Amino acid sequence: MNKDQIEGNWEQLKGNVRQTWGKLTDDDVELYKGKTQEFYGKIQEKHGIAKEEAEKRMKEFEKTSGYRDPK
């Protein structure tokens, strides 16, 4: 997978995350790229769910979206 494909996948995932977690800002979603625990904390804070539940739901979301983290 080349850089353009990775970036395209990220933009698609970012849009899907914003649709799913509508209260998150673009800056909140950017945390997902390298600061996942902070990202889960933002979901917890803005959606009123436990951090562990946010992480679980996001992992399920990743599976259904087909996103593959290039790390």
Topology of domain 3-65, CATH:
Protein Yjbj; Chain: A; (1.10.1470)
Q: CA–CA separation, 41 vs 43, rounded Å?
A: 5
13-68 confidence digits (pLDDT tens): 888 888 888 999 999 999 988 898 999 999 999 999 999 999 899 888 888 877 65
Q: CA–CA separation, 47 vs 69, rounded Å?
A: 24
Can you give the residue ranges of every domain in the chain?
Answer: 3-65
Identify which has the larger pLDDT, 2 or 32. Answer: 32
Q: Which residues of 13-29 are buried (b: 16+ CB within 10 A; e: fewer)?
A: bbebbeeebeebeeebb
